[in-house]
Chain A
Amino acid sequence: MKKYFILFSLIFLVLSANKSFSQCGDALLEICHGKLENARFIKSWPIQLPARARGETLPQVSFKLPLTSGNTYKIFACDASEYPGKVIVSIRNQNDDLVVTSYVVEQNRHIPVIMFPVSMSGIYTFSFYFQDGKEGCAVGVVSVAD
């Protein structure tokens, strides 16, 4: 009986440790959603990209999302701490003009939250990639601010 108890405890510990430290995927959204504060969640994208291979272009992933004039959007992303990559999000309008990016190149600085009061409704493209092409896992979140 004691043997079973020890075995059960070990399995439980391994499983709960796995849950605590593996942030990539839906668990990351649960951690990240605290950043919403008063904003209302509308969309998230899990992002997992490999490291850039030598001679290859920077791995990135893009999604389209309609943004409506009159709404202010709160946009942010969270990195999974067990991966080296720091995520960068860039937003382009439907003419493919760059509207904003979360990374200030000159200052080598990441901006944690973007507020975007939209006055041109349309389908915007959200692109995500990791700084210096490192391997990374993140979640990007778009919400409507009050």
Chain B
Amino acid sequence: MKKQKTILVILLLILGQFIAGCQQGQQRQEATDLLSDSFRDGDLRLNDAMIKEMISSVPNPLEITSILQRTGVVYSQDLLNPAGNVNDYNTNFQRALNLGVYGTDLIYMNIYERTVATLRYLSNLRELASDLRVEQFFDYTTLNRLSESSKNVDSVLYITNTGFDKMSRYLIDQERSHIAILISAGTWIESLYIATHAPTTAANKETINKRIGEQKKVLDNLLLLMNSYGQNSNFDELIKDLMTVKKEFDNVTITYQYAEPSIIESDGTLVVVDNSRSIVDISDETVKNIASAIAVVRNKVIE
């Protein structure tokens, strides 16, 4: 009798979980676009090996946000995509882009140790990843627990970044490269938006402006990736928008001075002394114009 009761309790628990799962699913709308199935056959596009190689040429948001934080740029909550916007993303195109946007915001908040504020953004990440059927790459329970303390920033960043990394590889392997590219585009757009709108001072302005100028090469690669999906109207429109940003980047000149690196070894670690230099020529006006152009693109993405 006792055994039967236990089985009944277990069954009821499973049923409860099932019903809760169904209800959660009903709250989110089904995608109103057919993006998932749009690129299977016939379209001219880069092969998966090339995409795998090139997609990592879009920098991790941690790179630019680390520099912002290290050079003393003040944190600004106003720069983030408002958490409530997540309910407006009803197409896979919007969801993929904004998964990248919210992922970048999450990294930005963590770099500045605003961990408690990340909880809503984590929830958004979960919703969008679930809609795109890639939620398995983020351990939300652990992330939520770790986010309760700013001491765990490195672990949160590790789980978030490895999650994005594995998700991207999975999407390419599953012939859903277009989703992976859109997520990368979203991260890049948001990173550049934050870098160009973060409040700089006389002391750090030159460093930040140079890092912004260096994004010229990244945009070229991103456009190359996106162009292979240019036959889709959504992609086409985003490419056109990004071309207006590229037009502003055309005023940036980057020259490279290569010199042989020196190598020092200490305690089993090899330290490379990079004697090469990249010289970025970018005017204040160009930075302003890039900021305006990326703001237009970004606001269209998050609206």
Task: Number of A interface residues at 8 Å Cβ cutoff, please give it.
Answer: 41
Given known A-B contacts A93-B276, A99-B261, A69 and B158 have beta carbons under 8 A apart:
no
Neighbouring A residues of B67 by C-beta, 8 Å: 68, 70-71
Q: How distant is the Cα of A99 from the Cα of B54 in the complex, in angstroms?
A: 20
B292 beta carbon closer than 8 Å to chain A: no
Task: Number of B interface residues at 8 Å Cβ cutoff, please give it.
Answer: 47
Cβ of A3 to closest chain B Cβ, rounded Å? 18
A100 beta carbon closer than 8 Å to chain B: yes
Cβ of A69 to closest chain B Cβ, rounded Å? 6
Task: Tell me the residues in window 74-125 of chain A with beta carbons closer than 8 Å to chain B beta carbons.
Answer: 93-95, 97, 99-100, 102, 111-123
A120/B278 in contact, CB under 8 A: yes
Q: Tell me the A residues contacting B by CB distance below 8 Å.
A: 26, 29, 33, 36, 38, 40-44, 46, 62-66, 68-71, 93-95, 97, 99-100, 102, 111-123, 144
Name which residue of chain A comes closest to B273, CB basis: A117
Neighbouring B residues of A113 by C-beta, 8 Å: 268-270
B197 beta carbon closer than 8 Å to chain A: no
Neighbouring B residues of A93 by C-beta, 8 Å: 258, 276
Q: How many inter-chain contacts with C-beta < 8 Å in the A-B complex?
A: 126
Neighbouring B residues of A116 by C-beta, 8 Å: 271-272, 274
A42/B278 in contact, CB under 8 A: no
Neighbouring A residues of B166 by C-beta, 8 Å: 26
List 4 other contacts, CB 8 Å, given A115-B272, A116-B271: A43-B161, A63-B56, A68-B67, A113-B268
Given known A-B contacts A44-B162, A64-B54, A112-B268, A97 and B62 have beta carbons under 8 A apart:
no
A66/B270 in contact, CB under 8 A: no
B214/A121 in contact, CB under 8 A: yes
A111/B161 in contact, CB under 8 A: no
Q: How distant is the Cα of A69 from the Cα of B256 in the complex, in angstroms?
A: 12
Neighbouring B residues of A46 by C-beta, 8 Å: 169
B276/A111 in contact, CB under 8 A: no
